[in-house]
Amino acid sequence: MSACSTVDPCLCPLCGQANRCAMEASPGQATEPCWCTREQFTAALLQQIPAAAKGKACICQACVQKAAQTT
């Protein structure tokens, strides 16, 4: 199996850094909402996610903020 065929849900699919998604780090546990629930994800940003990672890995906060600065 190729390393590229496996998506790590804890890594940003755009930059490869830790996405620090609280929902992925502790699935099913009642914790404080993740930072991502307070962010705006533009359609243009979401379109950059590779098809293999869609619905499987969260974009990191740095990539979300970088996209917000360029729009």
Q: What is the pLDDT of residues 10-68, one digit of tens each?
A: 999 999 999 988 876 555 665 678 888 888 899 999 999 999 999 889 999 999 999 98
CA 27 – CA 7 distance, rounded (Å): 17
CA 10 – CA 2 distance, rounded (Å): 18
Q: Is the pLDDT of residue 3 over 80?
A: no
Number of domains in the chain: 1
Amino acid at site 57: A
CA 19 – CA 59 distance, rounded (Å): 6
Backbone φ, ψ for residue 26 (5° rounding): -140, 65
Q: What residue numbers bound the domain in which 27 lies?
A: 3-70
Under DSSP, the state recorded for 28 is: T
What are the residues facing 11 on neighbouring strands?
18
Q: Is the pLDDT of residue 69 over 80?
A: yes
Q: What is the mean pLDDT of residues 2-17?
A: 80
